[in-house]
Amino acid sequence: MIGQLSGTAATLLASAPGAGAETMFWPLFFQLVLLLAAALFMGMLFERLGQSAILGYLLAGTLMGPAALGAIDAGSGVPVLAELGVSLLLFAIGLEFSARRLLKLGKIALGGGSLQVLITLGAGSGLALACGLGLRASLCVGAMVALSSTACVLRILVDRGEIDSLHGRSALGILLLQDIAVVPLVLLVTMLGGAGSAAEMGVGFLKAVGVIVALVGGFYLLSNFVLPRLLKTLSLSRDRELLILLAVVLAMGSAGAAHAVNISPALGAFIAGIMLAESPFATQIRSDISALRALFVTLFFASVGMLGDPAWILRNAPAVAVVVCLMVAGKAAIIAAVAGFFKRPLPHAVATGLSLAQVGEFGVVIAGIAHRDGLLDAPTFQLLVSGTLISLFLTPFLVRAALPFGRALERRWPGAGAVGASAGGDGADRGTRSGHVLVVGFGPAGQRVAEELQSGGRDALILDLRPPNVDLARSMGFEAALGDATNLDLLIHHGIATARAIVITVPDHRAAAAIAAAVRNLSPGIHIIARARYHNSAPELERAGGVAVVDEEIVTGHRLAAAVRAVFVQEGASRE
């Protein structure tokens, strides 16, 4: 029925006056709106039921896809547009990633993540070979199951407040390495799908590496020489729209540049993100594209759900159940063993394994490449995708049960966790900032506040919209970041949840009130000290959440009155 409505609407739109090229756009537009509306409804429903909204997006895609209600055509351009979601997600991950951050997570990130990917790749490939698949197809299966869902797992761990737990940090470290491993795994599967001899595949691989090196060099020059000069010509406070456009052009342009040279758009976006990660405007770019990324990532999850065929799954329920059990149990056991090898206590090793037991969204991307290139036939592809979707649906329940199950195993075998290190044994989270004071604005008022904090031995972090102010703060020995403090992502990234206080010194009372309201929603217990430039704006700041509003006009009045009294005192003393 919904498919008929979609087709009828598309026909009406196509027959409208001045159709022509619009016939290609409006049916796709209608299907996009329909899919997003379904994702919105199902996401809200799952959130209401205490589950991850991502599960709602997946189910919305399954229900609206060609195998169920048929609202979205199998040959529509929705999956193509949804690939932008992968690119934007990897671009944002690249902006978050840095070698220093990986090292802070300890050996579990680099060593454990690498070991997990290699062991899972080998085990998955071996099992696929034993089931009768060819070598190339088996390697594709191993590459697919080696990856977990960064978006799904981190979202659930954050919602449950477990991202800072030992198993949460272990999962984060392994996920970061998996995100890096996406690049060589995609290249591997692409090379396996190419026709020709091993030598020709090697030449193709070297060409791809050469193009990647050229992209890295281009993005390095852009981020270190072009963008800093460009940003100095823009006022972040005056030209916010231009900077949002700049962020979107960088995110989507990097994907387009990679596609233009026959490299994966997601890979190009990831490289661009890494190149920009160390720049002072990385956080602001990530904040500016957050809404666009959320839109396309939602579309991506829904498009992944569209690959599911409920009728096919029911007809092949035993085979799907076996694949899901092998995926989840095997992967959980491998990751738990790796975490144990890196001296995680048994409960946290098991919890890490269960949290990462699913096959992630990039596994579906790899399977799609293999299917497109003829490495996987249609039934095998559908079986793997069905198993992946079900493993993603199981993820919230696995994360919820992970630590209690690990503790139950420890009670069963109390000696098994004795060799484990303490929660901070490897220094995984020593770099986490807490108890600091955020100072928004580094004008004369902000400078005085920061200097007082510095003289008192307090840790201060400066946020400002103007690059010259950020440069000035750094030259004075302060840690400073470029960005708009009204943006929630920026505040979260700079530790608003663990900050002791925030001092808002910006003169614009509307911006100050917006910042205070955002901070109060994110961190209800934080101390908010705000500057009110005019007396009549002080109540607005207090309503927005300011616990200490400094009324500039009243303070100025008191200082002026004190100066007058001092004049009279001096005058009286001179007469005597």
Range 450-469 average pLDDT: 84
pLDDT of residue 13 exceeding 70: no
Q: Which residues pair with 549 in a beta bridge?
A: 530
**Vertex 312: Cα angle to 311 and 317 (nearest 5):** 100
pLDDT of residue 316 exceeding 50: yes
Residue 186 structure tokens:
């995609």
Task: Look up the pTM and report it.
Answer: 0.63
Q: Give SS3 for 466.
A: coil
The alpha-carbon radius of gyration of the chain (Å, integer) is 27
Question: How many Cβ atoms are within 10 Å of 412's Cβ, its own excluded?
Answer: 9
pLDDT of residue 503 exceeding 80: yes
**Residue 552: Cβ-neighbour burial (10 angstroms; 0-12, 13-18, 19+):** middle
Question: How many Cβ atoms are within 10 Å of 501's Cβ, its own excluded?
Answer: 19
pLDDT of residue 248 exceeding 80: no
> Comparing 77-412 with 437-571, is the CATH topology the same?
no
pLDDT digits (tens, 9 = 90+) for 107-131: 777 788 889 999 999 999 999 999 8
CATH superfamily of 437-571: NAD(P)-binding Rossmann-like Domain (3.40.50.720)
Q: For 10-14, 65-69, 369-373, 520-524, which range has the lowest pLDDT when averaged over its residues?
A: 10-14
Instruction: List the 479-482 sheet strands across, edge first.
Output: 479-482, 460-464, 437-440, 501-504, 527-532, 548-551
Q: Which residue has the higher pLDDT, 408 or 108?
A: 408
Q: Where are the domains of the chain?
A: 1-75, 77-412, 437-571
- Residue 501: which region, alpha, beta or left (left: phi > 0; alpha: psi -120 to 50)? beta
Max intra-chain CA distance, the chain: 110
Range 411-436 average pLDDT: 52
pLDDT digits (tens, 9 = 90+) for 31-62: 788 888 888 898 888 877 767 777 888 888 88
Contact 482, 283 (CB under 8 A): yes
pLDDT digits (tens, 9 = 90+) for 386-403: 898 899 888 888 988 888
**CATH 3.40.50.2000 at 77-412, yes or no:** no
pLDDT of residue 374 exceeding 80: yes
Range 539-560 average pLDDT: 72
Contact 391, 320 (CB under 8 A): no
Contact 276, 216 (CB under 8 A): no
pLDDT confidence of residue 280: 66
pLDDT digits (tens, 9 = 90+) for 70-102: 777 766 666 666 667 777 777 776 776 655 665
